[in-house]
Amino acid sequence: MPPEDNEGLQPDSTSSGAGTSAVHSLFTVPAPIKRLFDRFPLTTYPPNDLPQRSPSQRHSNQLYVFSDSKSARHGRPSFNPQCLKWQAYLKFVGVDFEVTPSNNHASPTGALPFLLPALPADASTPIPSHKLQKWAIEQVHCEEEQQLNLRFEVYASLLDHRLRNAWLYMLYLDSENFEAVARQHYVIPVTTNTIVRTALGIQLQQAARDELLKASKYIDVADLEGDASSAFEALSALLGEDEHFFGRPKPGLFDASVFAYTHLILDEGMGWKQNRLAQLLRKHPNLVEHRERLLQFF
């Protein structure tokens, strides 16, 4: 299963029939392997136990995200949009926590991020990402009017679909970015075995390709970039001259959701080789400034 919000695509344009056929033939499962899995199908196992290195006595909340050890020690932003969204949100609402580098396989829920609360709370049960907002509100008693606002849901779809799809393509379909960014973050740290690395890379790319093909019969780069451009335009108009979205005095969940993409798109430390999304984003100075303001939290 690929890292959430980081699935892959094929670098060649799929608008031509020949290109599409080549892609499908390359990733077609060989008949002997298919017969093997038909005979011995995959088994779905129950949720994983907590990581063994999890301390039995915790004096701080532990947020498990995609990160490396050095970045985690300094509380730097995760390189994964889904993880960064919640890492930023907890910071914005004033929840103290420590970052622990992890991966999907180490997660009890099978996905990152998740949080282990500090004692004396009932820390035996991890808090998955879809429950983090409710948990954070209970901890700091913060007001979250935006979650009741229909506009929040409408604009959130811009992030969940248009920006996310363009991000998936840029991260995995572009061959240079896949080697320089995706492979460095999601493949190489997992194992030193060359064969396993190759298989994992193919799995990540195929999973992302499948994700994008849910919305279209073929992957069109121009359409993805056009959707991203319109999403940036809409977000820029929504933000206007305000410091935070929806005119809030402090950044909230939607600010964190936008920052999770805008920061990583503009972050030169990611090592992008091709970055069309950054070119589109820089056409909207207020979004760039929004990212710079929120980066100060880190």
Q: Give tens-digit pLDDT for 139-150.
A: 988 766 555 566
According to CATH, the topology of domain 61-140 is Glutaredoxin (3.40.30)
Q: Which residues pair with 116 in a beta bridge?
A: 62
pLDDT tens-digit profile of 230-253? 999 999 999 999 999 999 899 999
Using CA atoms, how far residue 18 sits from 14, 24, 141, 202, in Å, is 8, 10, 57, 20
| Cα four-point dihedral sign 64, 290, 231, 219 | negative
Instruction: Tell me which of 18-22, 129-133, 173-177, 199-203 is least confident.
Output: 18-22
pTM: 0.79
Domain positions in the chain are 61-140, 149-296
| Residue 193 DSSP class | -
Distance separating alpha carbons of residues 57 and 28, to the nearest angstrom: 48
Instruction: Report which secondary-structure segment, H or E, holds 158.
Output: none
Cα-atom radius of gyration of the chain, to the nearest Å? 20
User: What single-letter amino acid sits at 118?
Assistant: A
User: What mean pLDDT is reported for the chain?
Assistant: 83
